[in-house]
């Protein structure tokens, strides 16, 4: 059986902790044949640790030796690398978010379509057990009325890498963490489409000296990204989404929440619960689901590999990812301009 030749572009934590384990678990379908990083020492360390035969300092050279790549670089480089790979006939799995902005995302999508290659963005929450069950439940929920999303962390600014650097990442808590649940919620309520966004971003707690922060120390003076975001989003069918995300909230505990109240029923995603009026009373259905992130990463990798071989369609497709980026752009623009932003 032919195996997909996979190259890793970027040899940081997300490559080592999420993608390499998933590809090794699927070794009958895929082989990691190359790794590239601008830090060549780091690339060689990862190659030696995981028996990856080829190491490159230039990703353009790597593209000549693979069928597909997984992009694990800072967000600033997603578009350039993805477009180059797609134009060379190489499939692309790119870590979230899609790009720094929607214009970059459009160019990625256009390159994928022009070259008939797969482009997947790593919104792996779509593969979490309770999320997939919620998606199956949506016909019984009916037309959404109000969706609530919270991606809140109690004092957990990522103190490593380049997460607090706007030039390299494009944003903070929204573009790094909130985007996962935003994508999940938009997927669940589809085909409803967001049309208007009113939002406010904050950069407050993370700028204070003498930080209380579970995820390592960082230079609070150098931080130039959002640490808390709230948004009110309207859809084309009149429904709304109440959104909030944070790296550094003064709250009791972390909170990961998506719930959808619809015309015929309601669903809570974490944990999965379904609510429906029946027999003249409100009925509540619960079932066991997992929130296993490793399992979700494995299912994401398998879906991508199968799609590259023409055996499946992408569960996280680039058009959906581009819509998420458009909403992110609108949130930042709304906060900057102090008014609602309309999405075409």
Q: What is the pLDDT of residues 115-167, one digit of tens each?
A: 999 999 999 999 999 999 999 999 999 999 999 999 999 999 998 889 999 99
What is the pLDDT, as a whole number, of residue 290? 86
Phi, psi of 140 (to 5 degrees): -80, -25
Give, for all 344 residues of the chain, the pLDDT tens digit. Answer: 799 999 999 999 999 999 999 999 999 999 999 999 999 999 999 999 999 999 999 999 999 999 999 999 999 999 999 999 999 999 999 999 999 999 999 999 999 999 999 999 999 999 999 999 999 999 999 999 999 999 999 999 998 889 999 999 999 999 999 999 999 999 999 999 999 999 999 999 999 998 899 998 999 999 999 999 999 999 999 999 999 999 999 999 999 999 999 999 999 999 999 999 999 999 999 999 988 899 999 999 999 999 999 999 999 999 999 999 999 999 999 999 999 999 98
Chain Cα centroid distance, residue 19? 14
> Partners of 267 in the beta sheet?
260, 274
What is the pLDDT, as a whole number, of residue 268? 98
Domain ranges of the chain: 4-123, 126-295+324-342
305, with CB counted inside 10 A (0-12, 13-18, 19+), is buried
Q: How far is Cα 285 from Cα 278, in angstroms, rounded to an integer? A: 12
Chain Cα centroid distance, residue 251? 24
Q: What is the pLDDT of residues 269-290, one digit of tens each?
A: 999 999 999 999 999 999 999 8
What is the pLDDT, as a whole number, of residue 14? 96
What is the pLDDT, as a whole number, of residue 171? 97
157 Cβ neighbours under 8 A, 6+ residues apart: 163, 164, 206, 211, 213, 215, 218, 223, 227, 247, 248
Q: Among all chains, which residue has been given the structure tokens 């000549």?
A: 64
Phi, psi of 256 (to 5 degrees): -120, 110
Q: Buried (b) or exposed (e) across 136-170, using 16+ Cβ within 10 A?
A: ebbeebeebeebbbbbbbbbbbbeeeebbbbebbb
- Cβ count within 10 A of residue 60: 12
Q: What does the block give as tokens for 236?
A: 């084309």
What is the pLDDT, as a whole number, of residue 216? 87
> Partners of 92 in the beta sheet?
69, 119
Q: How far is Cα 130 from Cα 133, in angstroms, rounded to an integer? A: 5
Instruction: Give the architecture-level CATH label for domain 126-295+324-342.
Output: 2-Layer Sandwich (3.30)
4-123 matches 126-295+324-342 in fold: no
**Closest by alpha carbon to 183, among 91, 121, 138, 102?**
121
Integer CA distances (angstroms), 200 to 75, 183, 215, in order? 22, 19, 25
4-123 belongs to which homologous superfamily? Answer: NAD(P)-binding Rossmann-like Domain (3.40.50.720)
Q: How many CA atoms lie within 13 A of 78 on its CB side?
A: 29
pTM of the model as a whole = 0.96
What is the pLDDT, as a whole number, of residue 211? 83
Q: How far is Cα 192 from Cα 336, in angstroms, rounded to an integer? A: 26
């Amino acid at each position: 059986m032919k195996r997909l030749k996979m190259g890793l572009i970027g040899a940081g934590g997300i490559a080592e902790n999420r993608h390499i384990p998933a590809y090794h678990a699927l070794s009958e379908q895929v082989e990691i044949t190359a790794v590239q990083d601008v830090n060549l020492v780091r690339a060689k360390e990862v190659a030696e640790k995981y028996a990856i035969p080829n190491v490159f300092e230039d990703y353009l050279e790597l593209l000549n030796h693979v069928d597909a790549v997984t992009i694990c670089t800072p967000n600033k480089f997603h578009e350039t690398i993805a477009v180059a790979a797609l134009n060379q006939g190489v499939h692309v799995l790119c870590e979230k978010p899609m790009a720094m902005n929607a214009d970059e995302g459009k160019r990625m999508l256009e390159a994928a379509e022009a070259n008939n290659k797969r482009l997947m963005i790593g919104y792996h929450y779509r593969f979490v057990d309770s999320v997939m069950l919620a998606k199956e439940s949506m016909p019984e929920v009916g037309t959404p009325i109000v969706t609530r999303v919270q991606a809140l962390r109690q004092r957990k600014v990522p103190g490593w890498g380049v997460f607090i650097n706007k030039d390299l990442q494009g944003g903070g808590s929204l573009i790094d963490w909130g985007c996962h649940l935003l994508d999940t919620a938009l997927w669940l309520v589809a085909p409803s489409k967001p049309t208007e966004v009113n939002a406010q971003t904050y950069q407050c707690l993370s700028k204070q000296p003498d930080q209380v922060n579970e995820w390592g120390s960082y230079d609070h003076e150098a931080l130039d990204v959002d640490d808390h975001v709230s948004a009110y989003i309207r859809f084309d069918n009149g429904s709304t989404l109440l959104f909030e995300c944070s790296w550094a909230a003064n709250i009791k505990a972390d909170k990961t929440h998506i719930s959808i109240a619809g015309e015929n029923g309601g669903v809570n995603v974490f944990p999965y619960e379904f609510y429906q009026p029946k027999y003249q009373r409100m009925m509540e259905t619960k079932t066991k689901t997992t929130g296993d992130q490793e399992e979700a990463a494995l299912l994401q990798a398998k879906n991508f590999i199968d799609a590259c071989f023409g055996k499946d369609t992408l569960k996280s497709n680039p058009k959906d990812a581009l819509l998420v980026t458009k909403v992110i752009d609108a949130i930042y623009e709304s906060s900057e301009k102090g008014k609602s932003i309309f999405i075409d």
